[in-house]
Amino acid sequence: MPEIDHEVAGDSCAAALFGKYELGKLLGCGAFAKVFHGRDRRSGQSVAVKILNKKKLAANPNLASNIKREISIMRRLNHPNIVRLREVMATKSKIFFVMEFVKGGELFNKIAKLGRLSEDLSRKFFQQLISAVGYCHARGVYHRDLKPENLLIDENGNLKVSDFGLSALTEQIRPDGLLHTLCGTPAYVAPEILSKKGYEGVKVDVWSCGVVLFVLAAGYLPFNDQNLMNMYRKIYKGDYRCPRWMSPDLKRFLSRLLDANPETRITIDEILKDPWFVKGGVKPIKFHDEPDQDSDPVKGDDEPEGVKNLNAFDLISFSSGLDLSTLFESSCKSVDCERFLSEECPEKLMEEAERLARAERLRAKKRKKEEWGLEIEGHYGKFAMTIYFFRLNDRLVVVEARRRGGDSDCYEDVWSNKLRPELVRFGHDSQLDNPLICFDH
């Protein structure tokens, strides 16, 4: 067993990460998280494990909100130039992100070592960056913190976008069609963010991509000043100078990327046609998912529910949209919602639930919209609940019980003391009401 940080070893099951991952050396740490190298015991594959302390998150609601949003965003993304979030797990005191391990480290370190990159290498990384950013935009995700520190290089020399903690979703756009949160890294923020009048996520990401390209080819920032306000003035005016070694085509291209007016700034579609960008040929860039045999597609609201094969993200979010609160709470059991695992099939579980309900003189009827949903009510309006049965994999089914109304004492008596124990015994329960979420992505 490799040496584990004492904070991690504090969780009895976490030292070996639930028997699935071995933790190695510390790769980095911040105020709220530590990142370790890990190894998947099943495949031998390297992973990066980001570990967050729940107590520290609880003291910072804004950070906790960012983490929830990051999870909900990462579940949408599957692209070769974006770091893949493989799995999310949690205990009473920790949250674990198991991510793709990117061996080459930050692009920032590569620039720091070489000073600047050739235009051909800069172009390669920029093409991959635009492929990832365009894909995110097509999925309604705006990164808002693109910079070399958040761009990683894998063992094959390909770029991977990481750190979606400051990202925004289409749902956050206000009625005026704009985003308004002030965020990002000062040297990379677009001028419209500084104006505090609202901005379009697509356009601020394009600006940041332009700053990244400048840094790649020049080896230094286009807008830089020891006085922060002076730097902001330069950004607001689009005041920068290209070094003499840059080609005319690159200088012209940068002038369109770093256009201080968002209305005339180059778009992703225009980037894809620019002479400097396409020089030497460019691999086809796709901004939508290809079918992925290793993961299930995310269903739309209007698609039939049926029996789903769920991943970890769906398990913690399927009943309440993108409600990730169960990761941040000490237990996934509550007065109004409870989940457990069963080894019995959904058909037999629902039949048994109906039988148990009728034995307690309760009315039970199948929900119309869900193939495996059962509404139960009775005792003169004092009891009303719904039970859902979702297939997790070939062996396990998630049973979720939700109180819809009535008296809490009656619910506690009927569900907790009578119905649930019998369903548990019937299905050879594999308890989920310990504070652990641990399923493959």
Structural domains in the chain?
A: 6-100 (3.30.200.20), 107-278 (1.10.510.10), 312-440 (3.30.310.80)
**pLDDT tens, N- to C-terminus, the chain (441 residues):** 333 444 454 444 445 677 789 999 998 877 678 889 999 988 899 999 989 888 887 777 777 777 878 887 887 788 999 999 888 888 778 888 898 999 888 888 888 888 899 999 999 999 999 999 999 999 889 998 899 988 999 989 999 998 887 777 776 777 777 777 777 788 999 999 888 788 899 999 999 999 999 999 999 999 988 888 899 999 999 999 999 999 999 999 999 999 999 999 999 999 999 999 999 777 766 665 554 433 333 333 333 333 334 444 444 443 333 344 445 544 444 456 777 778 788 889 999 999 999 999 999 988 765 567 899 999 888 899 999 887 766 667 778 888 888 888 888 889 888 998 899 888 664 444 333 333 333
To which residue do tokens 């002030």 refer?
A: 182
In this structure, the number of other CB atoms found within 10 A of the CB of residue 154 comes to 17
Contact 432, 340 (CB under 8 A): yes
Name the catalytic one among 5, 11, 145, 154: 145
Secondary structure of 359-417 in the HEC alphabet?
A: HCCCEEEECCCCCCEEEEEECCCCEEEEEEEEECCCCCEEEEEEEEEECHHHHHHHHHH
H/E element holding 34? strand 33-40
Q: Does the annotation mark 269 as catalytic? A: no
Concatenated DSSP letters of 246-305: S-HHHHHHHHHHT-S-TTTSPPHHHHTT-HHHHTT--PPP--SPPP-TTSPPPPPTTS--
Nearest 5 degrees, angle CA 113-CA 38-CA 87?
110
- Residue 74, token pair as written in the block: 């990462």
Q: Where are the alpha helices (DSSP H) in 27-60?
A: 54-58
Decide if 130 contacts 206 (C-beta within 8 A).
no
